[in-house]
Chain A
């Protein structure tokens, strides 16, 4: 696993912040915008140059590229520590079929913004190097080249479920024996385009967000990247990799209701969670904890909460949203929360839903407000929902000791 977000530049720092109820919310310092004192964001407090140095990549690339490379490199290093057969296992020079599937929603938009400042003035102006990485696929390609991954590389962009869908796609490629090892996740950096875009939708909270609170006012945007490495059963055996975590089920469904809003009954959410359960072969009572999408908008938290109630009935698992810590990291959030779900299973903890005060009137449940330790967790569900009615649910499980 690898992760970088406003609450930490690696997995360990993220875990520490979650355990200690730290949030990355504050006003933008590195993002050049007029909204420096009215729209709080969850920003990684490092300049592009510092991130470039940390990633070992050249300057003037899109910020998302650096975030992606940093998290992927951490995931690869983490895998190496779990290999028991060879001391100097080198993933990139092994004979395995290695894939890299990354989700993002904005490609190199931050650089395109700079380019257009000059270009819109005069079509012959603007540095072409600033627009050359505009495409979403370009970010994935830059990181794949930096790390030397060639076998299979692709990019998924389905708004806020992009990286959750990258996890699904990777799982399916392993299932179809098209790959042996696959690095899956996603990345998105803050930029003016999204901050202003979400602002026009009037779903940004002018204060730090309060997911699942009756008086929630909206989301805070965040930035980050996260990846997990999925391996096939035979690779696990051959390399004697120490892990007991696995993807037990997943599903993507469409709400088919509205381009940006969820249906009141959360039909797509309900279908995604239900089908993920079916694929896993688990019963609804087997899920102990849901790391919810929980953005803090009136619409999401209500329809997600109602869908959870519809599916789980009287046996609602523990629920919390970690977006009060990290903000909504868009294309990265599915993978970031997948990492958090795995950390929950690994450390037997349920992370608290920060700033929750009042329960929502339409929901029968209240999210977990204080850190819970030594919880018997075997199956954790992680939800990610996005524009275009895109709904994804993934179940992470722990093999039970015999």
Chain B
């Protein structure tokens, strides 16, 4: 059953204007992309804003944008995905715990370190008393949350007003960047843009949206299905996924691919979708960086591409090879560390 995207919110390293529906590509070429935080004044009450850490601010702001865009004050339910939860608050409490040897501690950071802080805060600020879930399963956190959204909407298909606030959130901190660097996750600055070396670039983001059962004047696109790949034969699973949705490989005109510039993965990832011979391949991780819920950024891009009927040239993986087709069927294929592969099928209204 298809679901309709009624409103979007984004706090990312680029600027997405939910009013004009424009994407401004403002930064790349660094091994660390940080979010451009919006002016929170209109989005979060100042008293509450002061107490929020970055990821909570980002999440709440993105939620408020999505609700405003959809013209809704309170969603029926909230379901979010985040692999890391509230890292900065966790680090803050852990650091004090260790350096002060378990003495003289204060509760604020601990309270906000809980993984469901963002979804709880959104519920509080929007007075949403419905179902409220947070999935924290690494590179499938966002996708599981999307699957949950689709199940809820199917159960409430008779209810035209039913709305779900959903999406993916993760923050990057100095400590997480330093520790992930020790694992060899990121490229050195001089290797940016070179996909023949190992490593990727670090990123973060909060991408939330409103999903509903019916098409409205606000609707961006419809999402037909999501598949969380269970085994390693990705080509076979793609076939199964397309067949299940009664769509031929040649009808996929646009594919947002989770290539991240890491020489260990990129070749395999391209090979996995070699059956999509007619699709314009687009990359998104150059603009949001790599993080476990990066696919929520791709989801927002797909919504804008389908609504605007225009593909920003910055996303082309092969700038000379545009297929000039109007975007109709968009497939999002992502992976995280060559594990946690997933497919999302989106369609023009």
A165 sits at the interface (CB 8 A)? yes
What is the CB-to-nearest-CB distance from A100 to chain B, in angstroms, rounded to a whole number?
Answer: 10
Contact of A389 among B115, B132, B140 (CB under 8 A): B132
Please, how many angstroms separate the alpha-carbon atoms of A388 and B120 in the complex? 4
Closest to A255 in B: B129
A169 touches B116 (CB 8 A): no
A158 sits at the interface (CB 8 A)? yes
Contact of A154 among B94, B98, B135, B179 (CB under 8 A): B135
Stretch at the interface among A135-143, A208-216, A238-246: A135-143
List B contacts of A138 (CB < 8 A). 138
A343 sits at the interface (CB 8 A)? no
B151 sits at the interface (CB 8 A)? yes
Determine chain A's interface SS by DSSP, over half rule: mixed
B85 touches A136 (CB 8 A): yes
Closest to B151 in A: A176
A355 sits at the interface (CB 8 A)? no
Please, how many angstroms separate the alpha-carbon atoms of A35 and B102 in the complex? 9
Q: With A34-B101, A131-B179 given, is the CB distance from A159 to B144 under 8 Å?
A: no
Most buried by A among B98, B137, B228: B137
Contact of B136 among A112, A137, A176, A388 (CB under 8 A): A137
Fill in one digit per residue for B93-130: 1 if any A CB lies within 8 Å of its CB, else 0: 11101110111011100111111110111011011111
Fill in one digit per residue for A361-402: 1 if any B CB lies within 8 Å of its CB, else 0: 000000000000000000000000011111000000000000
A157 touches B182 (CB 8 A): no
B116 touches A159 (CB 8 A): yes
What is the CB-to-nearest-CB distance from A70 to chain B, in angstroms, rounded to a whole number?
Answer: 21
List B contacts of A132 (CB < 8 A). 183
Please, how many angstroms separate the alpha-carbon atoms of A316 and B144 in the complex? 38
A259 touches B120 (CB 8 A): yes
A34 touches B102 (CB 8 A): yes
Please, how many angstroms separate the alpha-carbon atoms of A117 and B121 in the complex? 31
Q: With A113-B98, A135-B83, A136-B136 given, is the CB distance from A253 to B131 under 8 Å?
A: yes
List B contacts of A113 (CB < 8 A). 94, 97-98
List A contacts of B113 (CB < 8 A). 197
Stretch at the interface among A45-53, A55-63, A79-87, A145-153: A145-153
Fill in one digit per residue for A324-351: 1 if any B CB lies within 8 Å of its CB, else 0: 0000000000000000000000000000
B129 touches A120 (CB 8 A): no
What is the CB-to-nearest-CB distance from A18 to chain B, in angstroms, rounded to a whole number?
Answer: 29
Contact of B110 among A140, A151, A157, A201 (CB under 8 A): A201
Q: With A128-B183, A155-B137 given, is the CB distance from A387 to B111 under 8 Å?
A: yes
14 pairs from A and B in contact (CB 8 Å cutoff): A112-B94, A137-B83, A152-B228, A155-B136, A157-B85, A196-B97, A197-B110, A200-B107, A251-B131, A256-B124, A256-B128, A268-B129, A389-B124, A390-B132
Binding site for B on A (CB under 8 A): 33-35, 105, 112-113, 116-117, 119-120, 123-124, 128, 131-132, 135-138, 140-141, 150-159, 165, 169, 172-173, 176, 192-193, 196-197, 199-201, 251-260, 267-268, 271, 386-390
